[in-house]
Structure 1
Amino acid sequence: IPAPPRNPLHVTKIALFSPHATPVSFRHSPFIPLITPFPSRSHTTAPTIAGAILGLIFFLPLIILSSPVWVPAGTLVFIVTAGFLSVCGFGVALVAALSWMYRYFRGLHPPGSDRVDYARTRIYDTASHVKDYARDYRGYLQSKVKDAAPGA
């Protein structure tokens, strides 16, 4: 039985994907394939810039004449967009805060709950120290009042 004829395209595809088929310069310099498209891009950059400049020159009078319309319209669009995005941002922040508080009060220990607990105990300790100091100071003031007015 004769062997089936070999497809030359199949052999070519295999030869292209073998590691020995790649030239040595491309294997050792990975930046060469990145640099090669730039000459073709430079041929398209100049006409694009020239077209933009010519378009600006031709349409500048129209832009200047219509600016009383599009400047307030652009300002209004900017303000509405900024307001919408800020309301959305505040809404997301509110949902995140409420979710954190729900998990905190349910005892699920969300991130940062240890700092809140530390701050709460610190405030409680400070308040109790102030209360004790006020109680001691009140006794001190009452003794001073009795010294100033012995019959009172």
Structure 2
Amino acid sequence: MADHHRGATGGGGGYGDLQRGGGMHGEAQQQQKQGAMMTALKAATAATFGGSMLVLSGLILAGTVIALTVATPVLVIFSPVLVPAAIALALMAAGFVTSGGLGVAALSVFSWMYKYLTGKHPPAADQLDHAKARLASKARDVKDAAQHRIDQAQGS
């Protein structure tokens, strides 16, 4: 009887604890409330941030339209000069980018060749050696086949 009385007063999560909101059930309810509050807080933050970004996007769009409206007459007046200049700049930029890219490619090829020739075993050196062996084998086969045909032609 004493054990039953102790359980009812809060000794181990009995019926009395459930009535007061204690025990495991009360903690689960509290965690659910906190989870719901966190979800609501996240949603409110996301809505605020999204709305701010939408307003900022609209302002930037309006500013772009206004700037384009103001700049259009200037572009029309100066277009005989600006269009050829833009084409020239685009060609120069393409030339510099191409030149730089080919220069980097050449340097990397020279670096790879140096490593290969000095025996430092760069990446794909095994594939190159295998391809070289296959090419030499095919060259021998072609040479032998040609020699065989020459011998047949001379023998006939």
Report the CA distance between 1:26 and its aligned residue.
Answer: 6.4
Instruction: State the alpha-carbon separation in 2 of the partners of residues 87 and 31 from structure 1.
Output: 51
Among candidates 128, 138, 143, match of residue 116 of structure 1: 128
- What is aligned with 1:86? 98
Q: Percent identity?
A: 31
Instruction: State the alpha-carbon separation in 1 of the partners of residues 95 and 78 from structure 2.
Output: 26
Report the CA distance between 1:51 and its aligned residue.
Answer: 2.8
- What is aligned with 1:24? 35
Q: Secondary structure at 1:80's aligned position in 2? A: helix
1:95 aligns with 2:104: no
- What is aligned with 1:141? 153
Unaligned runs of 5+ in 2: 1-30
- What is aligned with 1:52? 64
Among candidates 44, 64, 73, match of residue 76 of structure 2: 64
- What is aligned with 1:148? none
- What is aligned with 2:4? none
Deviations 1:59-88 (A, max 9, x none): 312211111111111111111111111111
Question: For the structure 1 residues 111 and 26, does the alpha-carbon distance in structure 2 shift closer, same or farther, using more than 3 Å as the test?
Answer: farther
The AA in structure 1 aligned to 2:113 is M
1:37 aligns with 2:49: yes
Instruction: State the alpha-carbon separation in 2 of the partners of residues 50 and 108 from structure 1.
Output: 60
Measured on the aligned residues, the alpha-carbon RMSD in Å equals: 2.4
Report the CA distance between 1:104 and its aligned residue.
Answer: 1.0
* Stretch moving more, 83-92 or 25-34: 25-34
Report the CA distance between 1:140 and its aligned residue.
Answer: 0.9
Unaligned runs of 5+ in 1: 1-19, 145-152
The AA in structure 2 aligned to 1:66 is F
Question: For the structure 1 residues 76 and 25, does the alpha-carbon distance in structure 2 shift closer, same or farther, using more than 3 Å as the test?
Answer: farther
* Stretch moving more, 37-46 or 86-95: 37-46
Calculate the TM-score normalised by the size of structure 1. 0.70
Q: Tell me how many residue pairs correspond in the alignment.
A: 123
